[in-house]
Structure 1
């Protein structure tokens, strides 16, 4: 009996300590939230607490995408371009390489503070290169088990939509033992058998404890992240520059001409020398048989659109352009690209959401930094659309 009392007391003390630490971390994050605005960071991507508070801030526009937002060395990247004198809002990136529609659908579903809010969402043509959609390994590097559990608690999502999400997630994580709990949850949630439903209900306390442990761990990581970067970004709105698109385009063209002048594709010299030049013979027409409009990624995009509708999120979809000279060489010609842009725009606009594309600029010099990432002038066209949408 004495041992039992000691055990219970130890558990109670541990819970009190965890509760106190968690409260301290959350209070610190709220008090230092502006530190996170310009961070392109893995922990921020997983932190629902940071994302919920950012979505609730009046001076922040959330922008979701993939690796293109990591080009923070480019001054026209919206993370660096905003705020402006006319637009005193900050653009906060939620992005990483291979972070695609399904990962973002989960992020949207677990963030109730996005309800009724404007966000920007960048869609990459590269997501649709493979007929079966994203590979399991690519999804797993960006999968947040914590956000998955939180999304599944969302009362605004129908059971049918939750089952759709679970089915897709199970297909992508079931082969990884690290995500065995999430795979089991997804499998049991979709079960129509009495035994499956019984097992799911019996395991609910376990999944709840797993969720609480993940939430605590993530809040501690988020606290350490903001503590590490506190003071690094000086968010001073007193000396902001004005928007002058013509001047900005001229400035960025001048920068691009100095950095991308040794190749036929007008892309970054260093990138061309390292990745393109040694492989020109392999790259030529390597993707000539790709049919972008057949990809399973469209199913994931459709899931994301359903989540946006259910959550009353108001996204601006930005269809990222490509370096047309490079893609013509690669084999994905203008006809193939146009079919992709048209199908994607029709799907998105069918849900009533705003969508823009920049295909008319795709042969323009210094639009892209390389074959697939927005560059000096490309980001400025995106900045203009973000600015217009923010004030719409």
Structure 2
């Protein structure tokens, strides 16, 4: 009987012990261990980019540059930014922020949590066309990468509510993870509906919970953090000792050819075999009606630009292409993708974000893409030709001029063509 009682109450006892640890553990906000930073920088673990204990001091150190993106960052090859930086002893190491499914709302939360560390610094941001769907970020993806710690950080950073804060609050209220939290929904509803600042009672509630979340972050942020260091070192050994673009491009073409020889689309063999081959017939002309020019994602992306402007971050934006052999098969319009690139570049350039590497016209370059939509061997090498000099040059003071009235508007979200 005693064993039965013990097994029944064991989970509760464990929970109480963990809760006691969180309450009693001395508040230490960051982990100042360079080895841990190195492991975390390539892990792309949600508890790392959704936390602040590791990524914030790593980026504050000046040794790491944030690379914001999504699934393309997880596909390692000899030409991945982390591999090239390691092999050729660059003055920076990428800190990969994002994962498959992260989009502008996730990247806003991450960049806002780094507002101090990104002030007068540089960053790289990869804009994926496939984020810009009719619905924008789905509930499933938002919930998967939602960070309560980053939400509290944002709320506590508000002195006077701005139009960007109201927009973000309204967007958050559309997701089930927020709707299920009555107290948080009430706070966000006030912000969305015109409240200019948090009440003292609300701020006290947020500060108390924020401290608990910081302790939890410090205790558990390394759980499940799988570093890609071994893979990076493995791929680095495949590169020549001296950096020469022509030599590396020839190598990239050779490797790309070897890894895409089981299909006619020049898609990575493993990706094709596991993700495409079994359903190939059903994908013929399946993307003819897809349109990345009309999406709430444009307004979500404006949130990110607001954060970079607020912290005076100089950012290199990278616009990838989509594999043309694949788009010809699925019917995805390359003409539409050019309109997407034109629209997103207008949103950037008209507000002073002029560091842009646009590869949208490289869709038919062989082995530029690793699969259907992710930068590959030659693509990453071309990107490096923009990344390396951008990060080698000193920080240049920014001159951003935001136009939130235009770029948060429904009209802009739905605007099809740019004159």
Tell me which interval the TM-score lies in, with the shorter structure as reference length: 0.7 to 0.9
Partner deviation per Cα, 1:213-265 (whole Å, 9 max, x = no partner): 11111111235567x86997999x9x994321111111121111111012221
1:115 aligned to 2:119? Answer: yes
Shift of 1:132: 2.0
Query: Hey, what does 1:5 align to over in structure 2?
Result: none
Secondary structure in structure 1 of the residue aligned to 2:95:
strand
Query: Hey, what does 2:166 align to over in structure 1?
Result: 163
Residues of 2 paired with 1:157 and 1:113: CA distance?
21
What are structure 2's unaligned runs of at least 5 residues? 1-19, 394-419
Shift of 1:340: 0.7
Query: Hey, what does 1:97 align to over in structure 2?
Result: 100
Partner deviation per Cα, 1:198-217 (whole Å, 9 max, x = no partner): 9x653433322222111111
- Shift in alpha-carbon separation, 1:208–1:30, aligned structure 2, 3 A: farther
Question: What does residue range 1-392 of structure 1 map to in structure 2 within 5 Å?
Answer: 17-19=24-26, 22-23=27-28, 26-29=30-33, 32-72=36-76, 74-85=77-88, 87-111=90-114, 112-128=116-132, 130-154=133-157, 159-173=162-176, 177=180, 179-192=181-194, 201-223=200-222, 241-353=241-353, 354-392=355-393
Aligned residues: 368
Shift of 1:117: 0.7
Partner deviation per Cα, 1:108-152 (whole Å, 9 max, x = no partner): 112111011110000101101x21211111111111111011122
Contact kept? 2:370, 2:377, Cα under 8 Å: yes
Query: Hey, what does 1:3 align to over in structure 2?
Result: none
- Shift in alpha-carbon separation, 1:126–1:15, aligned structure 2, 3 A: closer
Partner deviation per Cα, 1:153-198 (whole Å, 9 max, x = no partner): 2258853221211111111245753x5554343223334489xx89
Shift of 1:28: 4.7
TM-score by length of 2: 0.79
Shift of 1:99: 0.5
Contact kept? 1:44, 1:51, Cα under 8 Å: yes
- Shift in alpha-carbon separation, 1:101–1:387, aligned structure 2, 3 A: same
Query: Hey, what does 2:10 align to over in structure 1?
Result: none
TM-score by length of 1: 0.84
Secondary structure in structure 1 of the residue aligned to 2:263:
coil
Residues of 1 paired with 2:102 and 2:260: CA distance?
27
- Shift in alpha-carbon separation, 1:31–1:260, aligned structure 2, 3 A: closer
Residues of 1 paired with 2:66 and 2:31: CA distance?
21
- Shift in alpha-carbon separation, 1:368–1:233, aligned structure 2, 3 A: closer
- Shift in alpha-carbon separation, 1:367–1:202, aligned structure 2, 3 A: same
Contact kept? 1:65, 1:121, Cα under 8 Å: yes
Contact kept? 2:156, 2:203, Cα under 8 Å: no
Residues of 1 paired with 2:158 and 2:179: CA distance?
29
- Shift in alpha-carbon separation, 1:278–1:366, aligned structure 2, 3 A: same
Shift of 1:86: 6.2
Which range moves more in the overlay, 330-339 or 185-194? Answer: 185-194
What are structure 1's unaligned runs of at least 5 residues? 1-12
Residues of 1 paired with 2:300 and 2:41: CA distance?
27
- Shift in alpha-carbon separation, 1:58–1:301, aligned structure 2, 3 A: same
Residues of 1 paired with 2:209 and 2:90: CA distance?
42
- Shift in alpha-carbon separation, 1:282–1:156, aligned structure 2, 3 A: farther
Residues of 1 paired with 2:160 and 2:51: CA distance?
21
